[in-house]
Amino acid sequence: MYKPYFKNQDGPPPLRVTCRRLARLEEVDALGIVWHGRYPSYLEDGREEMGRRFGLSYEEFKAAGAVLPIRTLHVEYLAPLRYREEFVVETSLHWHEAARLNMEYQIRNAAGQLATRGYSVQMMVDLSGGLLLEAPAFYREFQQRWREGRPGPCAS
């Protein structure tokens, strides 16, 4: 049974994106199974797709004086991915009022079976590493659009 990692924070529903990948030879072990250490990279593919889709790229945060180090990364391995298998990474951004990104991930294999799930928490810090108590203005504007049901990237 599916249970979300993050509770609804009295905000809009999570935003979701998907991206497709193919397990490459360099990512598998001698048995042709994707090595467990590769999965954080797959989750990052989903995170970057979220950034592209909604104007939340690492470059946009950096231009606003913020970076997003990982505070928490959790991965559950449920079924193996194999060499040359196509799979889908679904990434969900969950609402939070604090200066942080709560992402949840599901990886489904070629048969549509849930192979891996997990989550990450990224804190917003300034370029010197100091914790931001308030998100950059562009992210707060994004949150306002998200709350209004139009979370696409800023027009400017």
Q: Is 107 helix (H, G, I), strand (E, B) or coil?
A: strand
Identify the CA nearest to 42 among candidates 111, 96, 109, 121: 109
Cα 46 to Cα 17: distance, rounded to the nearest angstrom: 7
What CATH number does the domain located at 15-146 have? 3.10.129.10
Cα 88 to Cα 108: distance, rounded to the nearest angstrom: 5
To which H or E segment does residue 60 belong?
Answer: helix 58-63
Q: Is it the case that residue 105 has pLDDT exceeding 50?
A: yes
Q: Is it the case that residue 75 has pLDDT exceeding 50?
A: yes
Q: Is 121 helix (H, G, I), strand (E, B) or coil?
A: strand
Per-residue pLDDT tens for 119-156? 999 999 999 999 999 999 999 999 999 999 999 876 54
User: Percent of the chain, pLDDT > 70?
Assistant: 97
Per-residue pLDDT tens for 17-42? 999 999 999 999 999 999 999 999 99
Average of pLDDT values for 62-83? 97
Cβ atoms 78, 17 nearer than 8 A = no
**Residue 2: its pLDDT value, please?**
67
Q: Where are the alpha helices (DSSP H) in 31-93?
A: 39-54, 58-63
Q: Which two tokens stand for residue 82?
A: 């194999």
Cα 20 to Cα 113: distance, rounded to the nearest angstrom: 14
Cα 30 to Cα 34: distance, rounded to the nearest angstrom: 9
Question: If you average pLDDT over every residue of the chain, what do you get?
Answer: 95
Q: Is it the case that residue 3 has pLDDT exceeding 80?
A: no
**Residue 8: its pLDDT value, please?**
75
Average of pLDDT values for 53-60? 97
**Residue 83: its pLDDT value, please?**
97
**Residue 154: its pLDDT value, please?**
62
Average of pLDDT values for 44-70? 97
